[in-house]
Amino acid sequence: MYRFFLSLLIALCPFCKGKSQQIDSLLQLLNNPDLPDTVRINTNNSISRQLSFIKPIEALNYTQKAMELSQKINYKRGTAESYRNLGSIYAYYGSYYLTVFNLQKAIDGYKELNDSIGLANCYISMGHMYRYLHNIPQEITYHKLSYDMHSRLGNAERIGVTSHNLGESYYNNKELDKAKELTVKAIGINSSIGNVQVLSSCYKVMGKILMAEKNDTEAEVYFKKILHIHDSLKDNSQKIATIEAYIQLANIYKQRNNIAEEERYLHDAAEFVAKYKLTNYTRQIYLDLIELYTQTNRKNKALAYTTKYRQVSDSLAKIESQDKNQLVASFTKLYQVEKENSILEIENKLKDERAKRKNVIIYFIGSFSIVTIILLVLLVRNINKIRSTNEQLEQKNMIIESQNEKLEELNETKDKFFGIVSHDLRAPLSAVSSFTDLLLGGQLKNLPEDQMNELVTESKSLIDNARKLTDDLITWAQLQMKKEEAHPSLFTAAEVVNDVIALFKEPAAQKQITIGHTIDHKLQLYADKNQYTFIIRNLINNAIKFTPAGGSVTISGTSNNNSTTVLVTDTGIGMSKDVSDSIFRVGKLKSKNGTAGEKGTGLGLILMQEFVQLNKGKININSEQGKGSTIAVTVPATAE
């Protein structure tokens, strides 16, 4: 077996060196001071594309250089390719808003250029983004689209990439026969052209397919091929394929009860994720090591790796935060470049106009008697052009101001999102993690059963809350990406209100709060029933949350001019005008505990406002601090 892998490594060495040498050659080309601008742009974009899944931060730097120079000389193909590279890099770090933003700009650019190859490559990036979002149908759609387009174009390198991507998509959808057929094809193409990074990823998919077919012996061969490629490429290897090879080999040896080999591969995996900042794999690897040491009665090592896991997690979290800050900073910088280039373009137009006027005046002095009438016509036309140019400048400034406001809103949304994830989501998961660590360490084995049940109940509550928050975050993300749509139908307000009141009877009774409604059972409205139920549920939940014991919550309804209004009135603590004016703004949103200490993130308010707007409605707040609140939601009463 050793001789087999040695022979395999020798056979692969020329391919492994090829990709690295190609990057080195491109870097040497950039050192040429006489390099034409378009060649320099294409070279920077090529380096960025090859580094995007290996060293994404370095790839970002090369893309920035390509973008700045492309904007400067108005090279549209270079600009489109830079946007595509940015989309891939932001997707790698999970910044899906920026991913869609940049990919859409790339798609628009390639459509303007009638560039089928560029469009097909953008569809590859869109497929990867939906893979990160676990939307398998959309993932397959885009990868099949890019595969079909490149197959028609006949580019072997692109067919090798797209057949691999589509094969992995079919594997994710558990269509193993289709996955194997395409992956075998991808291995053959990428092996023949020496595209070793993609070949490494192909081996990963083939190994997973064989594992799914219960053929761990052949799967082991493919996973070890990946490690041999990594040993040759070092930092230029495909990181995701390499780390998954370590993990899968550890699992194979675990199934064979070969503890020494399992431990060796898990150790290698732990070092790999720490070196290359692969935060998504850190938890799995360290928990597998802790489990291994616990099962083999090496408690000191299990405890040591528990501590090391926390240290590595914190360190990688800081590095990941720095990388994401750098991504946001780069987005801001590129936006500024676009802004400055737009202004420069207008200024150049003005300079051209001034030059034309000067020439006209010189010509007028020499030929006054002949061209007086012509000069007057030209002068009027030039004045109109200047007026038009000034209007364009004003419009550009208005657009720039609007984009600045959108960018500030994007930053506020990002800050709120990271705040929720880092505090409201991470905190309960950390608590549950600590509890499981204590269980794994055997420190709770002497705990009385009633106390153990209490801890388990509390952990389940934390997990349920985290799951609800995750659902809200996903809904929020879908709304931001315009993926959530309203499907209106005609129904009565009373049926929704009755269902929601029944849901909150017990929480209201616990706080001694009276809850009821006076809505006519014939009062109808036209909206998405699920979204409208979410709105009413959040209104009643907040009313109970901020009403002290002994208070009341009353729901009423009216109909007027083809619209239906439902009002939720409480005798709670109310809110100031400043709070009510900013309650639905993401950047101003601050969570507040209820009268009985109930916690929340405030995200429900944002989703509620989004759903009201999605159903062509409006929401009004009438509240006075210390005297309760009335919140009215108005939606159409009919489909007309």
Q: How confident is the model at residue 331 (pLDDT cuts 50, 70, 90)?
A: low
Average pLDDT value for residue range 327-331? 58
Going by C-alpha positions, the residue among 542, 539, 532 that lies closest to residue 600 is: 542
So what's the pLDDT on residue 590?
Answer: 58
Written in H, E and C, the secondary structure of 266-309 is HHHHHHHHHHHCCHHHHHHHHHHHHHHHHHCCCHHHHHHHHHHH
So what's the pLDDT on residue 593?
Answer: 66
Locate 415 and state its tokens.
Answer: 């800050």
Average pLDDT value for residue range 187-212? 96
So what's the pLDDT on residue 212?
Answer: 96
Q: How confident is the model at residue 336 (pLDDT cuts 50, 70, 90)?
A: low
Q: Tell me if residue 193 falls in helix, strand or coil.
A: helix
Reply yes or no on whether the pLDDT at 435 is more than 70: no
Q: What is the pLDDT of residues 517-576, one digit of tens each?
A: 999 999 999 999 988 998 999 999 989 988 999 899 999 999 988 999 999 999 988 888
Phi, psi angle pair for 561, to nearest 5°: 50, 55
Reply yes or no on whether the pLDDT at 10 is more than 50: no
In which element (H, E) is residue 515 found?
A: strand 514-517
Average pLDDT value for residue range 581-595? 65
So what's the pLDDT on residue 609?
Answer: 87
Letter for the amino acid at 141?
T
So what's the pLDDT on residue 159?
Answer: 96
How many beta carbons lie within 10 A of that of residue 167, not counting itself? 27
So what's the pLDDT on residue 596?
Answer: 60
Q: What is the mean pLDDT of the chain?
A: 81
So what's the pLDDT on residue 219?
Answer: 96
Q: What is the pLDDT of residues 22-39, one digit of tens each?
A: 677 888 888 888 899 999
Reply yes or no on whether the pLDDT at 20 is more than 60: no
Percent of the chain with pLDDT over 70: 74
* 489-590+599-636 CATH pick, 1.10.4030.10, 3.30.565.10, 2.60.120.10, 3.40.228.10: 3.30.565.10
Average pLDDT value for residue range 309-313? 74
Average pLDDT value for residue range 486-511? 91
Q: What is the pLDDT of residues 256-290, one digit of tens each?
A: 999 999 999 999 999 998 888 887 888 899 899 99
Reply yes or no on whether the pLDDT at 191 is more than 90: yes
Higher per-residue confidence, 312 vs 194: 194
So what's the pLDDT on residue 217?
Answer: 96
Q: What is the pLDDT of residues 378-412, one digit of tens each?
A: 877 777 787 777 777 777 777 777 676 656 655 65
Region of poorest pLDDT, from 33-47, 358-372, 405-419, 554-568: 405-419
Reply yes or no on whether the pLDDT at 444 is more than 90: no
Reply yes or no on whether the pLDDT at 100 is more than 90: no
Q: What is the pLDDT of residues 109-144, one digit of tens each?
A: 999 999 999 999 999 989 988 998 899 999 999 999
In which element (H, E) is residue 37 found?
A: helix 37-51
Higher per-residue confidence, 316 vs 244: 244
Region of poorest pLDDT, from 53-57, 131-135, 200-204, 343-347: 343-347
Q: How confident is the model at residue 8 (pLDDT cuts 50, 70, 90)?
A: very low
**Per-residue burial over 489-524, b = 16 or more CB atoms within 10 Å of its CB, e = otherwise:** eeebbbebbeebbeebeebbeebebebebebeeebe
Q: What CA–CA distance (Å, rounded) separates 515 from 82?
A: 58
How many beta carbons lie within 10 A of that of residue 300, not counting itself? 8
Average pLDDT value for residue range 206-217? 96
Region of poorest pLDDT, from 156-160, 291-295, 434-438, 498-502: 434-438
Residue listed under structure tokens 């052209």: 193
Average pLDDT value for residue range 339-367? 58
So what's the pLDDT on residue 4?
Answer: 34
So what's the pLDDT on residue 14?
Answer: 37
Q: What CA–CA distance (Å, rounded) separates 16 from 222?
A: 16
Among 289-303, 354-368, 447-461, which range has the highest average pLDDT? 289-303
DSSP state of 427: H
Region of poorest pLDDT, from 179-183, 188-192, 402-406, 462-466: 462-466
So what's the pLDDT on residue 2?
Answer: 31
Reply yes or no on whether the pLDDT at 357 is more than 80: no
Percent of the chain with pLDDT over 90: 41
Please say whether the beta carbons of 353 and 382 come within 8 A.
Answer: yes
